[in-house]
Copies of this chain bind each other. A is one copy, B any other.
Amino acid sequence: MAREIRLNAFAMNCVGHMSPGLWTHPRDRSSDYNRLPHWLDLARTLERGRFDGLFLADVLGVYDVYGGTADAALRHAAQVPVNDPLLLVPAMAAVTTHLGFGVTSTLSYEPPFPFARRMSTLDHLTDGRIGWNIVTGYLDSAARAAGRERQTSHDDRYDVADDYMELVYKLWEGSWDDDAVLRDRARGIFTDPAKVRRVRHDGPHFKLDAIHLAEPSPQRTPVLYQAGSSPRGRAFAGEHAECVFISGPSAKVIAPRVAALRSAVRAAGRDPESVLIFSMMTVILGHTDAEAEARHEEYRRHVSHEGALALMSGWTGVDFSTYDLDQQVRHVENDAGRTAMDNVSRADPDRVWTVREVAEHIGIGGIGPLVVGGPERVADAIEGWVEETGVDGLNLCYAVLPESFEDVVELLVPELTRRGRYKSDYQPGTLREKLFGEGRARLTAPHPAVAHRQAGF
């Protein structure tokens, strides 16, 4: 078949996620985020649609740039309250067999030794369906929550991350040999201690002298996701990531980012095609184009301008509460803001945007593209997008939960399958095998984790 298009669902253990205000839609259930049945139903739906994975975002802080407080974010539930994402996984794993779980954890605030055990535990409990989205944190509010004045500077955070990765690789890959655990009831030997090694790490940021507490799990190192888009973040992704998540408003914006990313992978000595790239997209479906458009109109009425601008202010560091809603935004104050606005405006380069229009644009699905239509129009758009950008798949945001994903399963998946662009069955095995092929449960050389296997540190 033509190259397979992969789908992840993109969500967060919060209300609305990338569609601030849409929790007020009568059919939206995202405000049930704190109830287990909500997530069990979602997991079953996604597996019915043969989604590769559910990608769970996280922030350990609040969006408090808008107006200098968290008030707007709180009022509109713009990613606050936000609960821990890891704890959703075991319950969803219990009601699914194939669905993967990509979970965001901010290494800046998780000590590596218990974190490594947590991921190993999840890899065991899911039978090897866990992935980790490596995040270094980007909100000053999160740093203050950890008792610091502000975050570590951007590039330094990646230096910390490099040290952290080396340490957790040693724990995951190097501490226990594959044949260390015997479970030999007759001889009364559970583990052969000669095949378990103490990890000694004396890095610039982390020190440790311990064995990993978990026995080898199906994948050992979880599938590694990364989303950094700065040059330093891209270099980090080039070295470590197996899947990369990028976002941007148009194929023209995305395509060079995909190319830059594959170059970074090559620069790190790895096969550029060995990394799967997912870009963010939101689709609003109907049985017909007209039905989808009507639904879009209906959704739009629920967008919260203030909620959207609270997110935008947090992402950019620009306080959009100081702008009038009808004010045109030709430039904003800082680099991040310019980049974000640039992303917005490139979705429609000939248009002059007001703040209100920006809010409405990012109010459904954030700064990613929004595609509205019946199954054929949306499938056409996705095929075109993949062709133009070179991405391997999409991270689909929801507008209304679970309706958006149910529509994908009912309407889009059959169409993509019919076109030979979507798998008719899951591959067997772990998440890494489903993504990269049979026999690939573990990372393979030249990934840097492999160097820590059975090494004599």
Chain A contact residues, CB within 8 Å of chain B: 13, 15, 21, 23-26, 31, 34-36, 40, 60-62, 69-72, 74-77, 80-84, 86-91, 93-95, 109-111, 113-114, 117-118, 120-122, 124-125, 141-142, 144-147, 181, 183, 185-186, 188-193, 196, 206-211, 213-215, 217, 304
Partner of A214, one of B24, B83, B193: B83
What separation, in Å, do the CA atoms of A31 and B211 have in the docked complex?
19
Q: Is the CB of A76 within 8 A of B190?
A: yes
Q: Is the CB of B117 within 8 A of A74?
A: no
Partner of A185, one of B23, B34, B88, B185: B23
Given contacts A75-B191, A191-B74, contact A213 B60 (CB under 8 A): yes
Q: How many copies does the complex hold?
A: 2
Q: Is the CB of B110 within 8 A of A80?
A: no
Min CB–CB distance A343 → chain B (angstroms): 26
What separation, in Å, do the CA atoms of A61 and B25 have in the docked complex?
49
Q: Is the CB of A111 within 8 A of B146?
A: yes
From A86, which residue of chain B is reached at the shortest CB distance?
A: B87
Q: Is the CB of A206 within 8 A of B147?
A: yes
Q: Is the CB of A208 within 8 A of B144?
A: yes
Min CB–CB distance A446 → chain B (angstroms): 29
Q: Which residues of chain B have C-beta atoms less than 8 A from A117's C-beta?
A: 60, 83-84
Q: Is the CB of A209 within 8 A of B36?
A: no
Q: Can you list the 3 inter-chain pairs with the closest CB atoms, starting with the nearest?
A: A147-B207, A145-B210, A77-B190
What separation, in Å, do the CA atoms of A116 and B93 have in the docked complex?
24
What separation, in Å, do the CA atoms of A141 and B211 have in the docked complex?
9
Q: Which residues of chain B have C-beta atoms less than 8 A from A31's C-beta?
A: 183, 190
Task: List 30 A-B pairs, Cβ < 8 Å.
Answer: A24-B186, A25-B185, A31-B190, A35-B125, A60-B113, A60-B213, A62-B210, A74-B192, A74-B193, A77-B190, A77-B191, A81-B213, A83-B117, A83-B124, A84-B121, A86-B87, A87-B87, A87-B121, A88-B90, A90-B90, A90-B91, A91-B93, A94-B95, A109-B111, A113-B146, A142-B210, A145-B208, A147-B207, A147-B208, A188-B304
Q: Is the CB of B191 within 8 A of A81?
A: yes
From A38, which residue of chain B is reached at the shortest CB distance?
A: B125
Q: Which residues of chain B have C-beta atoms less than 8 A from A121's C-beta?
A: 13, 34, 83-84, 87
Q: Is the CB of B144 within 8 A of A210?
A: yes
Q: Is the CB of B34 within 8 A of A118?
A: no
Given contacts A76-B188, A118-B84, A124-B35, contact A193 B71 (CB under 8 A): yes
What separation, in Å, do the CA atoms of A15 and B215 have in the docked complex?
11
From A213, which residue of chain B is reached at the shortest CB distance?
A: B82
